[in-house]
Structure 1
Amino acid sequence: MSTPKNAIKNIVDELPTLLAVAVVETETGMPLASHVNVSEFDIETAAAYNTEVVKAKLKAINALKLNQTIQDILLTLTDQLHLLKLSADGKMFVYLAVNSRDTNLAQARQIMKAHTADLIK
């Protein structure tokens, strides 16, 4: 079984150009493990605000009475991709930020899925 720390290490090993990656507890918004390649990237703040995005989407799904679960959430910025992948129980999510010039969406999704499957099932 994968741990948050191992998942982060494996993602960084396979995607060394990433901006940041974290495994985040949904209830508190606190990273359980993280790695940042850009010194000005505040992973704790990013985790907290992305937790609010996840919680808002979960509330919307509930309010709309949709019988659906969130697979992932994609935020496309000018030159960055931010991908949030939720665990099946919604208790944690993996947050990955990459530069869209270095990494395409399919690559980011595949690497995240490969290294977090045990962690977020």
Structure 2
Amino acid sequence: MNIPFLHHLQSLTGPPLNKIVGVAPAGPGRANAEGLLRRVLGGLPELVAAAVGEVADGRLLASYTSSKDFDPAKIIGFNAAVLRQQQQALKALGLSEQQEQLTELLITLRRQLHLLRLLPDGKRFLYVAVDCHDTNLAIAREVMRTCDT
């Protein structure tokens, strides 16, 4: 049964746990984002969070989290801004897109690794957060690389 009031109450408690949530309007973009997150979960079942967002405006397309304290929707816009700023930095260095192209960024924390990977279209990106005790950088990078095709 679809009761909008109950869905609204659930959204007030934080993001749904251990569930891929499509945020974008139904269509191929949302379906692709949800499929990408399913492939990532297949390779990194212990991940903390994952999301697919748009680089240009930081709009969230789909997300997943395993922690009630971690809401990818709150940080996806900031991650998009980091990617845009890094692209501007490359331009400031005089590196054209034919010479170099940004593929991924790594943010290393004491207990977590946060990875941002541009998808092949260059308009969307994949964000993954993993606990350092559950996986290592090489595994996370390889799963992200193989899932984005």
Please state how far the C-alpha of 1:46 moved relative to its aligned partner: 1.6
Out of 62, 73, 82, the position equivalent to 2:91 is: 62
- Stretches of structure 1 that go unaligned for 5 or more consecutive residues are none
1:48-80 residue CA offsets vs partner (Å, 9 max, x unmatched): 111111011011111111131111100000110
What letter corresponds to residue 21 of structure 1 in structure 2? A
1:6-59 residue CA offsets vs partner (Å, 9 max, x unmatched): 010121122111010111111121221111111111211221111111011011
TM-score, normalised with respect to structure 2? 0.73
TM-score, normalised with respect to structure 1? 0.89
Distance (whole Å) between structure 2 residues aligned to residue 89 and residue 14 of structure 1: 22
Residue 138 (structure 2) aligns with = 106
- Stretches of structure 2 that go unaligned for 5 or more consecutive residues are 1-30
Distance (whole Å) between structure 2 residues aligned to residue 46 and residue 18 of structure 1: 16
Point out which structure has higher relative CO (alpha carbons under 8 A, 6+ apart). Answer: 1
Residue 47 (structure 2) aligns with = 18
Three-state SS of the structure 1 residue aligned to 2:51 is strand
Three-state SS of the structure 2 residue aligned to 1:9 is helix
Distance (whole Å) between structure 2 residues aligned to residue 14 and residue 107 of structure 1: 9
**Identity across the alignment (%):** 37
Question: Runs of 4+ in structure 1 displaced over 6 angstroms?
Answer: none
Out of 82, 97, 101, the position equivalent to 2:114 is: 82
Distance (whole Å) between structure 2 residues aligned to residue 87 and residue 65 of structure 1: 23
Please state how far the C-alpha of 1:84 moved relative to its aligned partner: 0.5
Tell me, yes or no, if the aligned pair for 2:54 and 2:60 is still in contact at 8 Å: yes
